[in-house]
Every structure is written in structure tokens, then in C-alpha cells.
Amino acid sequence: MERPAWAPRSIDISVPSVSRIYDYYLGGSHNFEVDREAARRAMEFMPGLPKIMQANRAFMRRAVRFAVDEGVTQFLDIGSGIPTFGNVHEVAQSARPGSRVVYVDHDPVAVAHSQAVLEGNDDADVVAADLRKPREILTSSQVERLIDLNRPVALLLVAVLHFLPDEEDPRQAVAELRDALAPGSLLVLTHASYEGIPLTRERASGTVDVYRDIRNPLIMRSRDDIARFFEGYDMVEPGLVPMPLWRPETAPEDEDQWAFSGFAGVGRTA
């Protein structure tokens, strides 16, 4: 297997990665055959996976513009993945020049590619760290340089919490991050769920099995369980809803049915 020039030497290119699989769904080029193979297997059960990822990205862009409109110009995007067109810094900095963005991911390809994309952008940076260790993120030199924790921050957890099983205590990590943020901060979140998928649960669980097989279990939570991540936040209207229904800019009835899989919401700290 040939190693592309952009792939860090330290990574095992025979092991699939969720951020590179996501990149493949979005039509990106920073993925290996092993990632494409896993993605194609997952799509045998849920052919609409690319549509779900596109809906995630579209929601994220609307939420970033909402944050800027609310006067929040600092963004901490954890589980940010491989930068594709219309990423947080592009949306935020075009809406409000000088907006500051720190990306966080534990995938070396995502980090290396983010560094290349952000070169020369003094208001954006990337940290190699893991959502399970909030302290390491909050005390990183990149966060200390760019993010003033005494002012409101938009914390983005887009399509990441469903890779953390309950035994890894994702709620504690989310609470620890919340407690570090100033009043008026925002939590921008999406999460996979069996609710809204236009398939039987049995059929959709085939995709879940593919992720388990590559040792990146996909945890499908109910709407009620996802809502618990917003403890300590006041929900912004319209609450926790399928992605196309969160402050849509186009008619939701024109959306692909797959886009309604899972939930999205934004909360604000008091």
C-alpha cells in the first residue's frame, strides 16, 4: 500500500479512521482504500450516509453564523476532523473577520491537514488532543493563545459524541468543558440516533456493526439521552431537532429524507 505524501509517517494506513471515512463521505481526498472500503460496507446498509454528513456540515455552518450574529467570535471545535470546504474558520472569519478558532482532533491525518490548511492564519490553530481529556484541551498552548475563557465561546461537538460509549463518561467531559466556559457560551451539537433514519432499526444496525468491527463503535442514542448533554444550558429555539429543522435557510421539505437522521441543537449557558 503506497503512502501518500500528505500522510504522517507515524500512522498505520492499514487501519481505518472515522475522520477519514467522514472525509470520504463528503467527497474529500484525504482517505485511504481501507477507509473507503469501510465506508462502502457501511453504505451497503445505509446508502444515505453521505447525505447525513452533508446535513451535519450544513447545520454546523448555520450554527456558526448564528453564534457570530449573537456576538460570539471564539470557537472551539472538538472532533473537528479533516478540513473540508466551508469549515468553521472560513464561515466564522468571513462573517466576522478576526474570529478565533481552535480545532481539536486526535487523528494525526486530521491534525496534519488542518495545520497545512491554517498556515498563515493567525486567528486559527489545531490541537492534537482527545475529547475524553478536556483538561489537556483547555490548557493547550493553542487554546491559551487564541481563546479567552472569560468571554463567551462556541463549543462545537458535531458528530463526535456518538463515538464515545457511556463507560467512557462523555457526559462528564461535556460538563467539564461547560464549567470552563464563560456565561453566554454556546454548545453546538449533533448526534447519531436510530430515530429519523428511513430504515428499520435492524437494517441500520448493520452500519453500527461495521463501525464496531473497525474498533470505533457508533453509539446510537435516543433523543432523550442526547438532550442530557445539554444539562446546564438553555436550549436555543427550536430546541433539539432533526438537522434540517434547525433554523433552516431552505425549505426542509426539499431535503433528502436521510438528512433527518439523528439530532442537532444549540444551548446557551446562563
Tell me what the mean pLDDT of segment 22-33 comes to: 92
Residue pair 69/245 in contact by the 8 Å Cβ criterion: no
* pLDDT for residue 3 is more than 80: no
Tell me what the mean pLDDT of segment 33-50 comes to: 97
Tell me what the mean pLDDT of segment 34-63 comes to: 97
Contacts 24+ apart (CB under 8 A), 90-98: 91/61, 91/64, 91/65, 92/64, 92/67, 92/68, 93/121, 93/123, 93/124, 95/64, 95/65, 95/68, 95/69, 96/68, 98/73, 98/123
- The proportion of the chain whose per-residue pLDDT surpasses 90, expressed as a percent, equals 90
Residue predicted with more confidence, 270 or 161: 161
Quick: pLDDT tens for 65-79. Answer: 999 999 999 999 999
- Residue 195, pLDDT score: 96
Quick: pLDDT tens for 221-233. Answer: 999 999 999 999 9
3-state secondary structure of 189: strand
Cell of 244: 434540517
- Residue 1, pLDDT score: 64
The contacts of residue 5 (CB under 8 Å, 6+ apart) are: none
Residue pair 269/185 in contact by the 8 Å Cβ criterion: yes
* pLDDT for residue 6 is more than 80: no
Average pLDDT, the chain: 95
**Rounded to an integer, what distance in angstroms lies between the CA atom of residue 47 and that of residue 49?**
6
- Residue 85, pLDDT score: 77
- The proportion of the chain whose per-residue pLDDT surpasses 70, expressed as a percent, equals 100
* pLDDT for residue 109 is more than 90: no
* pLDDT for residue 17 is more than 80: yes
* pLDDT for residue 56 is more than 80: yes
* pLDDT for residue 105 is more than 90: yes
Identify the band that residue 9 occupies on the pLDDT scale cut at 50, 70 and 90.
Answer: confident
Query: What is the CATH architecture of 18-269?
Result: 3-Layer(aba) Sandwich (3.40)
Quick: pLDDT tens for 169-205. Answer: 999 999 999 999 999 999 999 999 999 999 999 999 9
